[in-house]
Amino acid sequence: MNIPDHPLEIIWDITYACPLRCVHCYSESGRRPSRQLRRADLLRMAEAIVAMKPFGISLAGGEPLLVKELFEVVGRMTDAGIKVALFTGGWTLRPEMLDDIKRGFFRVSVSVDGATAEVHDRVRGRRGSFDRAMGALAMLDGTGVDFGIDFVVVRSNFQQVEQVCTDVVPRFPGLRFVSFGAVVPEGLASRESFAERELLSDAQVATLGDPAYRERLRALVPPSVHVTATDNLALQMHPELLREGRCYPALQIEPDGEVRAMLAYEGTVGNLLTDSPAELWRRAVERWHDPFVVDALTPVRTMEQWAEATRKIDLHFGSAADRDRIARRPALT
C-alpha cells in the first residue's frame, strides 16, 4: 500500500481519568493514573498536533469532558482550521457545556453499548450509565451539534444491535449517526478471560463487516440517520491486510504526549512534546513492519488468535510499567 508521509488522523487520549469501568476498555482508563498534562503543556500539545496538519483530530480517553482546559485546547485546534471530534461516555456532560461543545466540536459520539440499562450498565461497568448516556443524547438533541451513538459490539450485546436502531435511535430526532464497531482485542479486551466470554465469534465479526447487514440496519432507522458497521479488522495491521491497503494511517497519542506505534497495541516511539513529528511517524511506520510484529500477526486468522497476538506484542513492546499493569489485570468474571 501507499503509506502517506504523515498521519491523516490524530487520536489523542487526552486523559486516562474516567468515571466508567467498561469491560472492554482499550486504554484501561479510570484504573490507572490519568497522566493528564497541566494547562501549559496541554496547549503545547495542541500546537504540536496542529503542526502535523492532520485532516482531523479525535479527542478520546478516558473521558475528555473531565479535562477542565478542554475547550481552550480545542479552540487552539479549530482556530487552525482542523476539525475536532469528541468521544464521550456522556456521564459528565452538563447543560452549561453545550455552547462550548457546539463551538469546538464538529461531531460528538456518545458511547452506548446496549439498548437497555441492564446490558449497557454491565458492559460499561457502572450502574446508571445508560440513563446518563440517554441524558447526554437528550441534551445534545436540538442544539445543532452533529451527534450520534458509538456502539462497541461484544458478545453479550450483539443481540441488541437491531434494538438500538429500533428503540434508542428514534428517541432523539436530531441524532445524525450510529456506528457499530466490533470490539477490538486490545487493552482489557485482549485478556484471555475476555476472549473466552465477550470477544465476538468470527461469524459475528463477518456479519458486522457485511454490507448487506449494514443495509439491514439502515432500513431500521429514520432516513436522516447515517449507519455504519465495521469489523475493525483495519486495526489489526496484519501484513496481508496492510498489503491490501486495509489499515488506518492514524497516530494515537497518550495523554502525556507519548506516541503509540500502532493504534491497537502497546508500545510508544517517542513523545510529541520532545521529538519531531516526522521522525515519530517514520518510527511508527517502521514498527508496522518490525519482524516481531510480522511474526506475531502473520498466523492470525481468528479473533482469538488476534487477541493472542496482541498479548505477545504488548508484552514485547510495552514499557516496564505497561507489563506491570498487564500482569495486574483482573480476569473478567
- Interface with ligand SF4 includes 25 (CB under 6 A)? yes
Burial letters 182-221, b for 16+ CB under 10 A, else e: bbbbbbbbbbeebbeebbbeeebbebbeeeebbebbbebb
Instruction: Indicate the residue among 21 and 214 with the shorter CB distance to ligand SF4.
Output: 21
Work out how close the CB of 60 gets to ligand SF4 at its nearest, in angstroms, rounded to a whole number.
Answer: 7
Number of Cβ within a 10 Å radius of residue 168 = 24
- Interface with ligand SF4 includes 18 (CB under 6 A)? yes
Number of residues that bind ligand SF4 (CB under 6 A): 13
Work out how close the CB of 332 gets to ligand SF4 at its nearest, in angstroms, rounded to a whole number.
Answer: 14
- Interface with ligand SF4 includes 30 (CB under 6 A)? yes
Pairing verdict, β 268-271 and 9-15: unpaired
By CB under 6 A, name the one of 11, 22, 110, 272 that touches ligand SF4: 22
Contacts with ligand SF4 in 104-133 (CB under 6 A)?
Answer: 111
Number of Cβ within a 10 Å radius of residue 109 = 22
Q: What are phi and psi of 302, to 5 degrees?
A: -130, 165
Report the C-alpha gap between 93 and 139 in whole angstroms.
8
Work out how close the CB of 26 gets to ligand SF4 at its nearest, in angstroms, rounded to a whole number.
Answer: 6
SS3 state at 296: helix
Report the C-alpha gap between 326 and 4 in whole angstroms.
32
Work out how close the CB of 75 gets to ligand SF4 at its nearest, in angstroms, rounded to a whole number.
Answer: 23
- Interface with ligand SF4 includes 89 (CB under 6 A)? yes
Instruction: Indicate the residue among 25 and 272 with the shorter CB distance to ligand SF4.
Output: 25
Helices 129-140 & 117-124, crossing angle to 10 degrees? 100
Instruction: Indicate the residue among 50 and 93 with the shorter CB distance to ligand SF4.
Output: 93
- Interface with ligand SF4 includes 93 (CB under 6 A)? no
Instruction: Indicate the residue among 20 and 220 with the shorter CB distance to ligand SF4.
Output: 20
- Interface with ligand SF4 includes 21 (CB under 6 A)? yes
Work out how close the CB of 150 gets to ligand SF4 at its nearest, in angstroms, rounded to a whole number.
Answer: 10
Element containing residue 9 per DSSP (H, E): strand 9-15
SS3 state at 105: coil
Neighbouring residues of 273: CB distance < 8 A, sequence distance ≥ 6: 41, 44, 45, 48, 257
Contacts with ligand SF4 in 60-79 (CB under 6 A)?
Answer: 61-63
- Interface with ligand SF4 includes 20 (CB under 6 A)? yes
Question: Which residues are at the interface with ligand SF4 (CB under 6 A)?
Answer: 18, 20-22, 25, 27, 29-30, 61-63, 89, 111
